[in-house]
């Protein structure tokens, strides 16, 4: 690398840091920054991002991906895995954002420590997790886009390139993957064990609504059996997304029927069903579907994640987020009776 | 397996012909064994390779792909299990399965609906009793009509009577004992401590503000037979517990009882600090809402109500 390009690189880095500093300063000076700070969700997202990355990638692969993102060149196969890593991290942040939002929303709803104003404020604040998730996802997409472009521009190797190579066997869960799962469970537990006025693990009782969990689990199992291809994980994410969507829609219709019948009990049960279905489906996608497909893609059994899986990873959390906003509206809209 | 690879019988024949005469029987057997093993490994290659080299999860899900007869039975079991899970989950939900979150949502939504319903009323009559010593209490009679006229008749335990009208920004107070009446703008008027105990039911708007802003939700009990519900709140201002009985047909409060903080706990007697009974959307004589002559009439009504209570 010539000294001129090194100097140019340094200037570029300084300019990027300056732009970032200006954005942060603008946010602080606007005086509204306090409303946009939700430390608990941010910590959950950052640690959750690390945990979910560990579920799919090894430490060396992660290190290489960071090196590639910093501008270090590598061979074609390494670049492909690094690109896959950044895409997976971005996707995980997006899904984690919606998951954290759903959890915080449920905790705000279940918590009876405040009055109506504080509860509705907490419900609104819980949506901030999605905002953080989107920002982190965009940040991680930048190296993915860059590496994908460089990967396309690199000439294919004469033999043994990733497209033509025979698929490698999917390796067993490594110690790193298992640590990832444990770390994620620990983060979830800390989120659910939030000390409230209510007893410990009350949040777990709020989110774990058995009927919706059974429907999502049963529906996913049925779809995986029908479609097959379970070993590569390509149908698991889609199956979770479809059953989560069906469960949420069922709950939403029930809520509307409850509104028309002025039955608050019905509306409350339906809202529980919607939230719990979304949560179960998101968790299933994050813990089973996405890591399996990542490992499958890494092994070269698929060149990249399937279109349907991508659709489920990006579309379902978006639908879950929209449903959560609708749920918020359903909760704060009073049922009125003509006198 | 032959159907998957039709060229294999020919290969078999070729091997058989090659091995027929030229090799000793021992070597032929060994080669045959090797060949059988090779065929097995080819048959289980590709997607099923994960079964051998995959991790726990891969192995678990590879079961679903293995198309041997034994595993077909497992697939049936899994299919039955999935249907059972869906049906059981759906049935549990439709039968109104209890959920702690649903209870909280119900409580929240009910409070929002009550606060909204209270704001939409056209008139309110409320009688408030504030105990002061044994068998003695001060009484208030509050009348409110939309869009915002309030009249409060007060009678102290010693018989002192006052009437207060609030209309927009003007407050008028009549002292029946001294036969005086004065009006002033609300902004310039110091707060009269006499009327402080009834601030929560001063008007439907004030009551709604208390339900949604000051009182913290705690518990709900339903009296199914009488179509009534009882809410328990904690007043964030003074820590008092507030019990509100609501008509579930109209979502309007019928009675409110405020208890001294921590009274009624650990077997102690519950001490009532305020008791209010409501009557909603009933016509109120317009002349009662105008300061002046009607003051005494309102006070007499309060006195007769007080005698009824005693």
Contact at CB, A219 and B82, closer than 8 angstroms: yes
Do A114 and A235 share a domain, yes or no? no
Dist. CA B15–CA A300, nearest whole Å: 34
Q: pLDDT band for position A232 (50/70/90)?
A: low
For residues A124 and A239, membership in a common domain is answered with no
Same domain assignment for residues B106 and B74: no
Q: Which residues, numbered 126 to 155 in chain B, qualify as contacts with chain A under a Cβ-Cβ cut-off of 8 Å? A: none
Check pLDDT > 80 for residue A213: yes
Residues A103-129: b if buried by 16+ CB within 10 A, e if exposed: bbbbbbbbbbebbbeebbebbebbbbb
Mutation for B interface: A264, A298, A300, A336, most B CBs within 10 A = A264
Q: What is the mean pLDDT of residues B52-65?
A: 49
Q: Which of B55, B211, B218 sits opposite A173 (nearest CB)?
A: B55
Task: Return the higher-pLDDT residue of A104 and A302.
Answer: A104
- Is A225 close to B96, i.e. CB distance below 8 A? no
Residues A185 and A238 occupy one common structural domain:
no
Q: Which residues pair with B252 in a beta bridge?
A: B247
Does pLDDT of B138 surpass 70? Answer: yes
* CA dist., res. B261 & res. B241, Å (int): 6
Element spanning A185, H or E: helix A175-192
Judge whether A183 and A47 are in contact, CB under 8 Å: yes
Q: Tell me which chain B residue has its CA closest to the CA of residue A171.
A: B54
A77 has pLDDT over 70: yes
Positive or negative, the Cα torsion across B146, B148, B153, B157? positive
- Cα radius of gyration (chain B): 41
**Which band of pLDDT confidence, cut at 50, 70 and 90, is reported for residue B13?**
confident
Partners of residue B120 in chain A, C-beta under 8 Å: 336, 339
Confidence (pLDDT) at B187: 65
One domain for residues A182 and A225: no
- As a dihedral over the C-alpha atoms of residue B184, residue B186, residue B187, residue B189, rounded to 10 degrees, the angle is 60
- Residue B3 counted as domain residue: no
β-pairing, B123-131 vs B137-145, is antiparallel
- Percent of chain A scored above 90 by pLDDT? 30
Domain match, B133 and B201 both: yes
Does residue A161 lie within any of the structural domains? no
Residue B281 in contact with partner chain A when CB distance is under 8 A: yes
B285: in domain: yes
Quote the tokens at residue A89: 């991290």
Which sign does the torsion angle of CA A52, A56, A57, A62 carry? negative
Q: Quick check: A116 and B236 CB within 8 A?
A: no
Residues A194 and A67 in one domain: yes
Residues of A within 8 A of B236 (CB-CB) are 115
**Do A269 and B78 make contact, defined as CB atoms within 8 angstroms?**
no
The pLDDT assigned to B293 comes to 58
* A185 or B149, greater pLDDT: A185
Which residue on chain B is closest to A212 by alpha carbon? B89
Summarised one tens digit per residue, pLDDT across range B152-205 is 888 877 777 788 888 877 788 777 777 777 777 766 666 677 777 777 777 888
- How much is the pLDDT for A54? 92
* Per-position DSSP letters for B83-128, written without gaps between them: HHHHHHHHHHHHTT---HHHHHHHHHHHHHHHHHHHHT-SEEEEEE
Rounded mean pLDDT, A38-65 = 90
DSSP assignment string, B17-58: HHHHHHS-HHHHHHHHHHHHHHHHHHHT-GGGHHHHH--HHH
B266: helix, coil or strand?
coil
- Residue A63: inside a domain: yes
Q: Please name the residues between 41 and 60 in chain A that touch chain B, using a CB distance below 8 Å.
A: none
**Does B48 have pLDDT greater than 70?**
no
Q: Establish if A15 belongs to a structural domain.
A: no
Determine the pLDDT at residue A108. 85
Give the separation between CA A304 and CA A297, rounded to whole angstroms.
Answer: 5
Residue B201: give the domain boundaries: 101-309
What average pLDDT does this structure show over A203-227?
88
Q: What percent of chain B has pLDDT over 70?
A: 70
Is B2 inside any structural domain? no
- Domain holding A54, by residue range, is 36-154+173-198
Q: What is the pLDDT of residues A111-145, one digit of tens each?
A: 776 677 777 788 888 888 999 999 999 999 888 88
In this predicted structure, the answer to whether residue B288 has a pLDDT above a threshold of 50 is: yes
Q: Strands of B137-145's sheet, edge to edge?
A: B180-185, B170-175, B161-167, B149-155, B137-145, B123-131, B272-280, B252-259, B241-247, B228-235, B215-223
Task: Identify the closest residue of chain A to B234 by CA–CA distance.
Answer: A115
Q: A61 and A183: one domain?
A: yes
Residue B191 DSSP code: P
Predicted confidence at residue A322, as pLDDT, reads 92
pLDDT at A215: 92
The residues, any chain, with a CB within 8 Å of residue A46's CB and separated by 6 or more, are: A136
pLDDT of residue B70: 46
B85 and B202 share a domain?
no
Give the residue from A312, A250, A321, A311 showing the smallest Cα distance to A284: A312
Mean pLDDT computed over every residue of chain B:
75
SS3 for B220? strand
Residue B127 included in any domain? yes
Q: From CA B104, how far away is CA A106, in angstroms rounded? A: 10
Same-domain pairing of A236 and A321: yes
**A243 and A273 belong to one structural domain:** yes
Overall number of domains in chain B: 2
Residues A193 and A216 in one domain: no
Task: Single out the residue in B93, B121, B154 at which a domain terminates.
Answer: B93
CA A188 to CA B189: how far, in whole Å? 55
Question: Which of B28, B60, B93 finishes a domain?
Answer: B93
Cβ proximity of A61 and A55 under 8 Å:
no
Q: Which residue of B has its CA nearest to A266?
A: B96
- Higher-confidence position of A257 and B6: A257
For helices A290-298 and A39-56, give the axis angle rounded to 10 degrees.
Answer: 40
- Total structural domains within chain A: 2
Nearest 5°: the CA angle B57, A148, A95 is: 45
pLDDT band at B3 (very low <50, low <70, confident <90, very high): very low
Structure tokens at B217: 């939700």
pLDDT at A296 exceeding the cut of 90: no
Q: Is the same domain home to B278 and B209?
A: yes
Q: For A293, list phi and psi in degrees, rounded to 5.
A: -70, -35
Cβ atoms B58, A292 nearer than 8 A: yes
Q: What is the mean pLDDT of residues A15-40?
A: 75
**Other CB atoms within 10 A of residue A55 CB:** 25
Structural domain contains residue B1: no
Helices (H), ranges, chain B: 8-22, 25-43, 49-53, 56-65, 69-94, 100-119, 204-209, 294-309
Same domain, B145 and B285: yes
**CATH code, domain with B178:** 2.50.20.10
Together in a domain, B133 and B270: yes
Task: Pick A123 or A271 by higher pLDDT.
Answer: A271
Return the structure tokens found at A75.
């061979």
Q: How many CA atoms lie within 13 A of A246 on its CB side?
A: 17
Verify that A320 and A217 share a domain, yes or no. Answer: yes
Residue A98 pLDDT greater than 90, yes or no: yes
Confidence of residue B46 (pLDDT cuts 50, 70, 90): very low
A254 shares its domain with A274: yes
Same domain, B189 and B263: yes
**Alpha-carbon dihedral angle through residues A219, A225, A230, A234, given to the nearest 10 degrees:** -60
Residue B253 DSSP label: E
Same domain assignment for residues A48 and A81:
yes
Identify whether residues B198 and B80 lie together within a single domain: no
pLDDT mean across residues, chain A: 83
How high is the pLDDT of residue B296? 59
Q: What is the mean pLDDT of residues B81-108?
A: 86
One domain for residues B89 and B110: no
Contact A299, A171 (CB under 8 A): yes
Q: Report the residue from B101, B121, B212 with minimal CB separation from A117.
A: B212
Do the Cβ atoms of A51 and A180 come closer than 8 Å?
yes
Q: Averaged over B290-301, what is the pLDDT? A: 62
**Which residue in B93, B117, B281 is closest to A211 by CB distance?**
B93
pLDDT value at position A194?
62
Per the CB < 8 Å rule, is A210 touching B97? yes
Domain final position from B74, B93, B112: B93
| Residue of A111, A123, A214 to mutate, interface with B, max B Cβ within 10 Å | A214
B50 has pLDDT over 50: no
B129 and B268 part of one domain: yes
- Quick one: B46 and B147 in the same domain? no
Q: Do B89 and A212 touch (CB under 8 A)?
A: yes
**B283 assigned to some structural domain:** yes
Q: Minimum mean pLDDT among A5-9, A99-103, B127-131: which range?
A: A5-9
- Top pLDDT among A332 and B28 is at A332
**DSSP alpha helices (H): ranges in A70-115?**
76-110
In a domain, B62, yes or no: yes
Write down the pLDDT at residue B54: 47
pLDDT at A315 (0 to 100) = 93
Say yes or no: A329 contacts chain B, CB-CB below 8 A: no
Output the CA–CA distances (angstroms, integers) from residue A34 to A27, A39, B163, B207, in the order listed: 9, 11, 47, 31
Alpha carbons A4 and A217: distance in angstroms, whole number: 58
Is a pLDDT exceeding 90 seen at residue A92? yes
Q: Which of residues 106-135 of A touch B (CB under 8 A)?
A: 106, 109-117, 119
d(CA A300, CA A81): 10
Optimal mutation site among B76, B102, B234, interface A, most CBs of chain A within 10 A: B102
Under a CB-based contact definition with an 8 Å cutoff, are residues B177 and B160 in contact? yes
pLDDT of residue B163: 84
pLDDT at position A281 over 70? yes
The DSSP code for A78 is H
What pLDDT was estimated at residue B186?
67
A228: left (phi over 0), alpha (psi -120 to 50) or beta: left
Please, which pLDDT band fits residue A246 given cuts at 50, 70 and 90? very high
Cβ separation B54–A269 shorter than 8 A: no
| Residues on chain B touching A232 (C-beta within 8 angstroms) | 47
Mean pLDDT of B115-131: 88
Which residues of chain A are within 8 Å of residue B211 when distances are taken between CB atoms? 116
Is the CB of B54 less than 8 angstroms away from the CB of A172?
A: yes
Query: Residue B259: enclosing H or E segment and its boundaries?
Result: strand B252-259
Range of A71-75, A159-163, B148-152 with top mean pLDDT: B148-152
């Amino acid at each position: 690398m010539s000294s001129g390009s090194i100097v140019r690189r340094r200037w570029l880095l300084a300019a990027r840091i300056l732009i970032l500093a200006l954005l942060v300063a603008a946010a602080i000076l606007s005086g509204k920054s306090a409303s946009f700070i939700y430390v608990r969700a941010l910590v959950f997202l950052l640690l959750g991002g690390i945990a979910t990355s560990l579920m799919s990638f090894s430490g060396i692969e992660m290190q290489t991906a960071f090196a590639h993102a910093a501008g270090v060149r590598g061979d074609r196969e390494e670049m492909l895995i690094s690109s896959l890593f950044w895409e997976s991290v971005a996707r995980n942040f997006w899904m984690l954002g919606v998951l954290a939002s759903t959890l915080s929303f449920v905790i705000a709803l279940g918590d009876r420590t405040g009055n109506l104003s504080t509860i509705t404020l907490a419900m609104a604040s819980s949506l901030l997790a999605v905002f953080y998730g989107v920002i982190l996802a965009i940040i991680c997409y930048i190296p993915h886009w860059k590496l994908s472009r460089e990967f396309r521009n690199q000439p294919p190797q004469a033999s043994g390139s990733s497209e033509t190579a025979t698929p490698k066997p999917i390796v067993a869960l490594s110690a790193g993957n298992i640590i990832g799962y444990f770390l994620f469970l620990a983060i979830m537990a800390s989120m659910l064990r939030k000390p409230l006025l209510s007893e410990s693990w009350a949040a777990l009782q709020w989110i774990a609504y058995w009927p919706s969990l059974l429907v999502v689990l049963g529906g996913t199992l049925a779809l995986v059996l029908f479609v097959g291809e379970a070993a590569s994980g390509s149908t698991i994410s889609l199956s979770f997304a479809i059953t989560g969507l069906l469960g949420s829609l069922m709950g939403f219709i029930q809520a509307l029927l409850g509104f028309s019948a002025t039955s608050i009990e019905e509306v409350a049960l339906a809202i529980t069903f919607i939230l719990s279905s979304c949560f179960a489906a998101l968790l299933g996608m994050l813990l089973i579907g996405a890591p399996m497909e990542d490992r499958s893609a890494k092994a070269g059994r698929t060149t990249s994640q399937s279109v349907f899986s991508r659709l489920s990873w990006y579309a379902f959390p978006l639908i879950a987020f929209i449903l959560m906003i609708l749920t918020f509206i359903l909760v704060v809209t009073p049922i009125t009776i003509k006198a | 397996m032959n159907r998957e690879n039709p060229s294999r019988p020919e290969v078999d024949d070729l091997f058989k012909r090659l091995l027929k005469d030229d090799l000793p029987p021992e070597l032929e057997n060994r080669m045959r064994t090797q060949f059988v093993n090779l065929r097995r490994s080819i048959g289980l290659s590709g997607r099923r390779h994960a079964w051998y080299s995959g991790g726990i999860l891969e192995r678990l899900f590879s079961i679903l792909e293995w198309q041997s007869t034994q595993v077909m039975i497992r697939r049936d079991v899994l299919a039955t299990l999935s249907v059972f899970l869906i049906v059981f989950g759906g049935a549990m939900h439709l039968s109104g399965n209890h959920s702690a979150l649903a209870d909280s949502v119900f409580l929240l939504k009910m409070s929002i609906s009550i606060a909204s319903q209270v704001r939409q009323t056209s008139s309110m009559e409320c009688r408030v009793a504030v105990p002061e010593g044994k068998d003695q209490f001060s009484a208030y009679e509050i009348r409110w009509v939309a869009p915002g006229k309030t009249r409060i008749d007060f009678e102290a335990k010693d018989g002192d009577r006052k009437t207060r009208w609030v209309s927009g920004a003007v407050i008028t107070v009549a002292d029946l004992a001294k036969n005086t009446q004065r009006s002033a703008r609300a902004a310039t008027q110091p707060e009269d401590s006499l009327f402080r105990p009834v601030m929560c039911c001063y008007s439907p708007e004030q009551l709604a503000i208390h339900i949604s802003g000051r009182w913290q939700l705690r518990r709900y009990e339903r009296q199914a037979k009488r179509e009534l519900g009882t809410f328990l709140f904690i007043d964030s201002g003074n820590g008092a517990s507030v019990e509100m009985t609501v008509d579930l047909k109209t979502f309007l409060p019928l009675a409110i009882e405020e208890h001294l903080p921590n009274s009624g706990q650990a077997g102690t007697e519950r001490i009532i600090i305020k008791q209010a009974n409501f009557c909603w959307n009933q016509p109120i004589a317009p002349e009662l809402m105008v300061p002046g002559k009607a003051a005494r009439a309102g006070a007499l009504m309060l006195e007769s109500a007080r005698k009824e209570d005693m």
